[in-house]
Amino acid sequence: MRVFGSADFDDHEQVTFFADPGAGLRAIVAIHRSGPLGIAGGGCRMWPYASEDEALRDALRLSRAMTYKLALAGLPAGGAKAVVLGDPARDKTDALLEALGRAVDGLGGRYVIAEDVGTTPRDLQVIARATAWVRREAGDTAEGTALGVLRGLEVAVRRRLGATDLRGVSVAVQGLGRVGRRLCAHLARTGARLVVADLDPARARAIAAELEATAVGARSIYDQAVEVFAPCALGGVLDDATIPRLRCAVVAGSANAPLAEPRHADVLAARGVLYAPDIVIGAGGVLAAASGDDARALAERLDGLAATLEAVFARAERERITPLVAAERTARERLEAGP
Ligand code: NAI
């Protein structure tokens, strides 16, 4: 396992490996930047990784993306990520979560843990038995994330297709978890036509019935003739095998790091697909967390997300670069400029 020499290592400030055999815990916490306040935020992912390398890669990539996401969202914190190696359905116990809480506590507040794929608000409550460094309001982030994706999707559709609203626009949503199913409900309200898929076919069928959508198998979601493909499952789904199958004009969804490699942004652009970078469009959850109960503040911040995405698309066109490169450049400039 290479760390400093890994392609995903970006001078991360701290990468810590935790093991508690008694509790069955194996976890990595990567702090990319601790930000001006010395605090880094980021979700905790629990996943049955095929290898330790894969888990480390996820921690490095996702923590870096979190720093960029927060910088683009104008929030004064750094980015981090925790990954727990294991199957949440089988391996997650209160003892494991408490051990994870002790691990987070040992970082002394440099890392504030939140939920992500494989962890829930209830898990955070168990983790909180062992540490105060838990984002309490995390329960609402999925709704904020879905609202942010909706706004970003509208911006991308307007830019690429000239459509002023989503009425009649067809969207294929991959993944109907906390974010995906909320996004579907919002899209249905706007009059979009939905094609949905989840690894759990019963979930896809139920949502299709509720929203008058079409459910397809998880494997065939890439092949749908739609205007928008919305990845809301895991990262790394768009690669050399799946991109050629896409029949859409826009990719816009919540999934963190949906491109298998950065070069896939060029592959999408070469096919005329407008890609809304995850580090911009996926920020609704952190904006919701920063806004607390203040609905007006959230609405203003979501306007800011839409404006940032418009600026990123404009910069990409002006500088003849992909939206991903434009977003990363903008994020780096904001980080260098400081708070
Ligand atoms: P979740 O775990 O609640 O839902 C993920 C869903 O995707 C599950 O229903 C799962 O069965 C499905 N899925 C997994 N692989 C699939 C595949 N190959 N095809 C079809 N369905 C598949 O996760 P959540 O919270 O909805 O997050 C979704 C994505 O959005 C993740 O990439 C996450 O990192 C990202 N995200 C989530 C935020 C949040 O506030 N929850 C914030 C920002 C990003």
Q: What is the pLDDT of residues 231-250, one digit of tens each?
A: 999 889 999 999 999 999 99
Cβ–Cβ under 8 Å, residues 29 and 107: yes
Residue 138: per-residue pLDDT:
47
Name the amino acid, one letter, at 116.
Answer: D
What distance in angstroms lies between residue 264's CA and the mean position of ligand 1's atoms?
20
Q: Which residues of 26-53 are buried (b: 16+ CB within 10 A; e: fewer)?
A: bbbbbbbbbbeeebbbbbbbbbebeeee
Cα(109)–Cα(106) distance, integer angstroms: 8
Residues of the chain with pLDDT under 50: 138
Tell the burial category of 185 from Cβ atoms under 10 Å away from its Cβ (0-12, 13-18, 19+): middle
What distance in angstroms lies between residue 339's CA and the mean position of ligand 1's atoms?
31
With a 6 Å cutoff on the Cβ, whether 176 touches ligand 1 is yes
Which atom of ligand 1 lies nearest, measured to the CA of 197?
A: 20
Which atom of ligand 1 lies nearest, measured to the CA of 285?
A: 40
Kindly state the DSSP code that residue 273 receives in the 8-state scheme. Answer: P
The pLDDT tens digits for 250-308 are: 999 999 999 999 999 999 999 999 999 999 999 999 999 889 889 999 999 999 999 99
Cα(146)–Cα(284) distance, integer angstroms: 7
